[in-house]
Each structure stands twice: as structure tokens, then as C-alpha cells.
Structure 1
Amino acid sequence: MNETMVCAVGRVATQPVYREMASGPSARFRLAVTARYWDREKSTWTDGHTNFFTVWANRQLATNTAASLTVGEPVIVQGRLKVRTDVREGQNWTSADIDAVAIGHDLAWGTSAFRRAGRPETATPPTQPEPNWETPPEGSGSATDVPPQQPVDTPALT
């Protein structure tokens, strides 16, 4: 309930790894987020510290991530931050993961063409007849016809 939601803007650092798990599709990639600041002495933008996050995507987001992202592309990731600490081989180890809710290209750096992913066809949805949006001809007299508009008397503006 009290989860830390973050929005990280950075670049894809590793090619997404896609796996089919028992619980459904899963994908992960590393995200590099580099701070930039204006260096007054040099009068130029300078790169600061880079943070790396492991981004996890599940279900349809995993499938779309694997099909859409490549190394170096600018992305925006929104999700739950998970910071884990562990001791491995006598050394402290810390990992910052993002359990993604949404991933998209950063359009400040270029364009992107959205394509809706096809849904797997499990059952054919019931078809309903297309409604008739055309105005019925006057005097057709069927019960489904819309009655014609009556003229409204409006006072003349002078």
C-alpha cells in the first residue's frame, strides 16, 4: 500500500531480456540515469553521476518492452522502487530495482510510432448489428424512425 512510486528518465543500458515464466511473460533491462548540470566555468552542460536501475516488466508490458526497446534509446519508466541490500562473498551489495507500471520513449529526443499490440484470440466476441446512423427519409413511417424536427419560431433580431 505505501509503496514508493518513481518516474525515472534515462537511457536503455542493456538489451531487454525476455522470459516466459509460469506466472506469465517477464522482461528486464538496465536503465542508466545520468544527472546533467550547467557548468558555469565552462559555459556548457556537463554529465554528473550515473545511477543504474534494473527495470522489471511483467505480462503484456514485458512483451511490448522486448519488442520495442534497444540499447541507447531514451525512455521514461514509472513504477515501484525496490531497494535491496544483501551480503555476497563478504561484501555488502545494494540493488535498486523498478517494478515498472509504464514504459515509454522520451519524445524530447525523437519521434516514436505507436502500434497497438494484437490481442490473442481466445473467443470470438459476439457481433452486434451496426447501428443505422443515417437520417431516415421523410414519410417512411417505421416505428424506429426519429420524428422530423419541427421548425421553431424565433423572433427576428433587429
Structure 2
Amino acid sequence: MNETIVCVVGNVATQPVYRELAAGPSARFRLAVTQRYWDREKSAWTDGHTNFFTVWANRQLATNAAASLNVGDPVVVQGRLKVRSDVREGQSWTSADIDAVAIGHDLARGTAMFRRGQKPEAGAADTSAAQPEPNWETPVGDGAGQQEPEPVAVT
């Protein structure tokens, strides 16, 4: 399908609002994106126009966003852009929403500590016990200076 996918860097402008709906968890917050440019006359960076987007997150992304984001946090949001126009009570308005696919803290402006989300509750199959962790270590004496084995043709 033809969708407009955007990647937006900005700051969380409102505390995320979290809701448990019949279709699953949902969260929304406002994102402020301010243009910055180099002003040659002042020899300094200057703030330009600020755009505001309503970011919508669903399912596990909603749960994690509500638990992780606070007003002022620098974030990167990737998702589908939806621009809507309407007329209410004689006033026309336009809103720009982002249906988020991914949200993360902007590590160019700070550090973060990642914590995995909680595992699913009872009833969901736990496959971690059935699959042992692979050995990622290279055995001593292997690798350097040795050639890959020749592929064998199977007929």
C-alpha cells in the first residue's frame, strides 16, 4: 500500500496517556519537533518553527512507551503519517498524527538504560527452555589461517 512513513526527532511535549481498550493497550502523546538552523548573521544555532504531532502507540509499544517516556525526553519516532482536516463549529483544523511503529530515546542527546519487557503471563508457550543458548565462542585454534571446507554437491 502507499503509506507515508516518517522518522521524526523531537521532544515529548505531554505525558503519555495510557488506555486499556478492548483491542489492546493504546497510548498517545504529543511530540514537539523544532527546526534548527545556523544563522550566519548571529553565528549561532537558532530555533525555527515548531511542529506538533500526536503519536499513537498500540499493544506492547503502548505499554512500554507509557512506562518509559516523560515530558521533555528527546525521542525518535518512526511510523505512518496521517494528516486529517475537519470543520467543527465553523472552525477548520488540521492535525498530523503518527501511528508509531518504533519509539526510542535519542542517544545523541543523552544516555538510556534498556530493560526488557515482562514475559507473557501463564498460558503462553515458553520456548526459551526448549532451545539452549548457542555457543558463540570460537574454539581455540580454529578460524585464522584455515580454509573453509569445500562445498559438497548432493545428487
TM-score interval for Structure 1 and Structure 2 normalised by the shorter chain: 0.7 to 0.9
Aligned to 2:11: 11
| CA gap 1:50/1:130 in 2 versus in 1, 3 angstroms | closer
Whichever residue aligns with residue 9 of structure 1, its letter is V
- Which residue of 2 is the match for residue 116 of structure 1? 116
- Displacement of 1:122 after TM fit? 2.5
How many pairs does the alignment contain?
A: 132
Match of 1:53 in 2: 53
Over the aligned positions, Cα root-mean-square deviation in angstroms equals 1.7
CA pair 128-107 structure 1, distance change in 2 beyond 3 A: closer
**What runs of 5+ residues in structure 2 fail to find an aligned partner?**
136-155
Counterpart in 1 of 2:69?
Answer: 69
Residue 125 of structure 1 aligns with which residue? 126
Letter in 2 for 1:74: P
SS of the residue 1:52 aligns to: strand
Letter matched to residue 47 of structure 2: D
**3-state SS of 1:64 partner:** helix
| Structure 1: gaps of 5 or more residues | 134-158
Letter in 2 for 1:90: G
Note closer, same or farther for the CA distance 1:47–1:128 as it changes in structure 2 (3 Å cut).
Answer: closer
1:1-158 aligned within 5 A: 1-123=1-123, 125=126, 127-128=129-130
Give the drift of 1:33. Answer: 0.2
Change (3 A) 1:120 1:89: same
Q: 1:125, CA displacement in angstroms?
A: 3.0
- Partner deviation per Cα, 1:18-37 (whole Å, 9 max, x = no partner): 00000000000000000000
Task: Label 1:129 to 1:6 Cα distance change in 2 as closer, same or farther (>3 A).
Answer: closer
Separation in 1, partners of 2:98, 2:52: 10
| Structure 1 residue 91 displacement after superposition | 1.1
2:126 aligned partner, one-letter code: P
Q: Please tell me the residue identity of whatever aligns with 2:15.
A: Q
Which residue of structure 2 lines up, in the alignment, with residue 140 of structure 1?
none
Give the Å deviation of 1:59: 0.1
Q: Secondary structure at the match of 1:65?
A: helix
CA distance in 2, matches of 1:28, 1:128: 37
Distance change (3 Å), C-alpha of 1:82 and 1:128: closer
TM-score by length of 2: 0.81
